[in-house]
A and B are shown apart, each in its own frame.
Chain A
Amino acid sequence: MDRKARFAGRHALVWAIALGMLFPFIVMIGTALKPPTEVFSLPPRLLPEQWEFGNFEAALSAMPFWRYLGNTLLVSGLCVVGSLVSCPLVAYSLAKLHWPGRGLMLALVLGSMMLPPQVTLVPLYLLWNKLGLVGTYFPLIVPSFFGIPFFIFMLRQFLVGIPDELLDAARLDGASEFRVYWRIVLPLARPALATVAVFQFVWTWTDFLNPLIYLSDSSQYTLSVGLYAFFSEHGVDWGPLMAASVMFTLPALIIFLLGQRYFVEGIATKGLK
């Protein structure tokens, strides 16, 4: 009896936690499907009596959702490319090459992870301004091509685990360092690279501050700023706002469900010891 009670108790606790986490989602979807009269009804009901998709229509006509989706896909995709190109290169130099200054650089990478963005905010804006690139996607995409400290560190931890013998064998065979990197190390690092890709995609997808500052033409907006502008304009139009939110969330959700293990394993095991 005691065991059964504890079993039930454990599961009840876990269900309660899961319910708490899911509740806002249920509300979001429920509100999105309600007609306006039900949205503002008292006492509030969780699920709509009448399901209707009018809110989705309203949201789609009030904001150029597909264009914003396209913009966000473009920016997120390019950032993933940037990270995948640069971060493994830099991580390799920290993990598998022995050179003076390596320790210092590792410390700098770790230190940059802790930098508050506000410190560089103004000068970076001025820099991009001088280059005439404010109002373009460049300020959002170019930094990823220079490497993101978090991913560099994560990849470095992973690469350290690759046995040196594999690399030495190839080097002895006369392969250039880049060839060793390209043909041996990268393929072995595929799971870590997949994690980087998945994380970078979601980070850029959900990023708000950078598009807010650098994008001025509303036709360029990403979904974050688009939703924010929708709120600025329509304020407490809860039904369509929730509908737009649902549409904005879906792609990130799909990526998450498909690449779940990359997320969970990625942050749990790679490089946080």
Chain B
Amino acid sequence: MPRRSTTSRRQLRLGLAFASPWLVGFVVLILGPIVASGYYSFTDFNLFQPPTFVGVDNYRTMVGDERFTKALFNTLYLTVFGVPLALALSLGFALALNSRVRGLPLYRAIVYLPTIIPIVVSVYVWRWLLNAQYGYFNRILGLLHLPQPNWLEDPTFTKPAIILIGLWMVGGTTVIYLAALKDVPSETYEAALVDGAGPWQRFRAVTWPAISPVTLFQLIVGLITSLQLFTQPYLLAQTRLNAAAGGPDDSLLTYGMYVYQNAFVFLKMGYASALAWVLFLVTLAVTAVLMLTSRRWVHYG
């Protein structure tokens, strides 16, 4: 008996010792700030003078704040349309690359390339591509006799521009799907073929269930990334000399940008904290809902 307890205490000490960097970091850099953020959300704080307690005023302001509503709408728009599209496209690419193609490693690398390019570069290059006067993208659309919108200055098309850039960067998810596709046991495919199943039925019955865990994970990651999106819309809306720009008619103002603006441009750190907390709760809720409903369509093993 005594021997087991010293071993388990020793194990505990060892475990904590090895885990200590992250445990300390968790408390100092994650848990602490989350709690502090909650505290600040009940204050009015402009960084230069000490915070003053204002109760739930910040949350009340949020309800009547037009820009808050707009930021929320923009972010949900990008999420609801952008994430499924990106997922579908990456799956499509993976299926295309999974067929017997020569030089697969090269194509895989090319598809993955956009994701390692610095985001700042990607956005600026796309700003140039989508320029209404000189942009190549609209030239190509013109050659295909498709309408050529003003992507960057027409409020209806700025969010689609963000989604477009996101579609260009599906390489990461594509590679993950490719690996998952290779893992699908070929016996199941052959069995389906013997049963006379066509390609679409094979996909539905064999492929889709097999990759559903990956789909769930990518869906959650994609949703979380989309809800906090900051860099791409911020840079796409950037104007010379930098006022707090949200794009034409604030169409590019995402929730992440609005938090940043309130914190570092308007110096309303209390309000920014309240906004951040709402984002946190929404993210938790969305993740929980997804995980719970996943049992119906995700097959493990």
Contacts and interface: CB of A to CB of B under 8 A. Distances in A.
A and B touch in the complex (CB under 8 A): yes
A40 B18 contact: no
Given A205-B118, A268-B179, A145 B15 contact: no
B96 A125 contact: no
Given A24-B168, A89-B18, A105-B23, A17 B117 contact: no
Interface in A217-254: 223-224, 227-228, 231-233, 235, 238, 241-242, 245, 248-249, 252-253
Interface string B89-127: 000010011011110000111111110111111101110
A208 B26 contact: no
A181 B15 CA distance: 12
B74 to A, nearest CB: 15
B29 A120 contact: yes
Interface residues of B, number: 94
A232 B241 contact: yes
Query: What's the dominant secondary structure at chain B's contact region?
Result: helix
Contacts of B139: 43-44
Most-contacted residue by chain B among A86, A92, A206 (CB, 10 A): A206
Contacts of B125: 24-25, 27-28, 242, 245
A197 interface: no
Interface string B11-32: 1101111110111111011101
Interface string A100-111: 111001001100
B256 A116 contact: yes
B244 interface: no
B133 interface: yes
A240 to B, nearest CB: 11
Given A90-B22, A122-B40, A17 B96 contact: yes
B62 interface: no
- Residues of A in contact with B, size category: 35 or more
A14 B11 contact: no
A183 B97 CA distance: 41
B189 to A, nearest CB: 17
Given A17-B93, A116-B224, A228-B120, 15 more contacts: A21-B111, A24-B129, A27-B128, A44-B139, A99-B8, A117-B228, A119-B34, A120-B37, A224-B120, A228-B235, A232-B240, A232-B242, A255-B116, A268-B175, A268-B179
Interface of B: 8, 11-12, 14-19, 21-26, 28-30, 32-34, 36-37, 40, 47, 93, 96-97, 99-102, 107-114, 116-122, 124-126, 128-129, 133-136, 139, 168, 171-172, 175-176, 178-179, 213-214, 217, 220, 224, 227-228, 230-231, 235, 238, 240-242, 255-256, 259-260, 263-264, 269, 272-273, 275-277, 279-280, 283, 287
